[in-house]
Amino acid sequence: MKRLTPILMAALVVACATGTPHAADMAAAKQNYDTFCVKCHGTNGKGDGPAAATLSTRPRDFTDCARMSKESNDQLFNVIKNGGAANGMSADMQAWSTGFEDSEITDLVAYVRSFCKK
């Protein structure tokens, strides 16, 4: 039996620990965004949806690449799942932990990232 080189062994450990990367279902994410997020974040993700004016804090502008680059995918995931208040942000951002499965939230994070066009 052949011995694994340290580099190959390390690669296998990382692959097993991280699993297969999740491929976002962008069509489903767009549908969820259009149904649940557009009213505050707007069709084009600029934070200018029809309900934005009624909120105490303006919704995040997802097209602001400089600002969005400071937020990790984990942070975005947690804000969508647990709401703004649970993450030190505006309580106007409601929690969606009972509305979306984790995989749907992961897809929404990918969709939200798509608004930033560099």
Q: What is the pLDDT of residues 53-70, one digit of tens each?
A: 999 999 999 999 999 999
Domains (ranges, CATH) in the chain? 25-113 (1.10.760.10)
% of the chain exceeding 70 in pLDDT: 81
**Across 20-24, 71-75, 77-81, 86-90, least confident range:** 20-24
Residue 50 CB coordination number (10 Å): 11
For the full predicted model, state whether its pTM sits above 0.75. yes
**pLDDT, position 22:** 62
* Cα 60 to Cα 68: distance, rounded to the nearest angstrom: 9
**103 in Cβ contact with 22 (< 8 Å):** yes
Q: What is the pLDDT of residues 85-102, one digit of tens each?
A: 999 999 999 999 999 999
